[in-house]
Amino acid sequence: MVNKYTFKDDWFSRSTFLFEKYLSAYVGQPCHFLEIGTHEGRATTWLLDNILTHTHAQIDCIDVCILDVLSDNLDKTGVRNKVTLHQGSSTKVLRTFQFEEFDFIYIDGSHSAVDVLEDAVLSFRLLKNNGIIAFDDYPWNDARYSDGTFPKPAIDAFLSIYDHKIKLLHKEYQVWIQKVSN
């Protein structure tokens, strides 16, 4: 099948199997997802095509930079009305949502340790009970594209401190957890 979308980067396809495994229960459900770090919309368009199929399913997307190609790709989904874009840093935008609003949150924005930890802590409050958080790039450590800090220590700290409130679903290149208590 010819891909109708325009993408330059692919940081998503290697993990599609996890999105299928842990999110298939939301197909046809009026669920509410949040993506931190949307870029060209690779994950967003996949979620809209494959999981967010219910008429009232929605996704909020946060990015410091809303690319023209993202808007074009979202238009091509045919369900642009399901998407709310928020331009700004996650540290500000995450504070604008209601507690326990989301079924799934994908943390893939800033990769500096402080930002990943803050995204995780703020996202946990925004997640419904039994909701799921996925972190990308757990072992990523390319100093050329970082401030010298990386996701792993932040994710490890979150997993350790929230241990009694979460169930660990997966821990390899991505980390997936389910919220089991407030």
Of the candidate residues 18, 27, 64, 159, the single one contacting ligand SAM (CB under 6 A): 64
φ/ψ (deg, to 5) at 11? -110, 20
Of the candidate residues 53, 89, 146, 149, the single one contacting ligand SAM (CB under 6 A): 89
The burial of 8, by beta-carbon neighbours within 10 Å (0-12 exposed, 13-18 middle, 19 or more buried), is given as exposed
φ/ψ (deg, to 5) at 85? -95, 140
The type of residue at 33 is F
Any contact of residue 103 with ligand SAM (CB under 6 A)? Answer: no
Nearer to ligand SAM, 14 or 165 (CB): 14
Of the candidate residues 62, 74, 105, 120, the single one contacting ligand SAM (CB under 6 A): 62
Q: Select the span of 48-56, 60-68, 123-131, 147-155 touching ligand SAM (CB under 6 A).
A: 60-68
96: helix, strand or coil:
helix
Q: How far is the CB of 84 from ligand SAM (least distance, A)?
A: 14
CB count in 10 Å sphere of residue 16: 13
Q: Which two structure tokens, joined as six digits, stand for 26? A: 């939301």
Of the candidate residues 1, 3, 17, 65, the single one contacting ligand SAM (CB under 6 A): 65
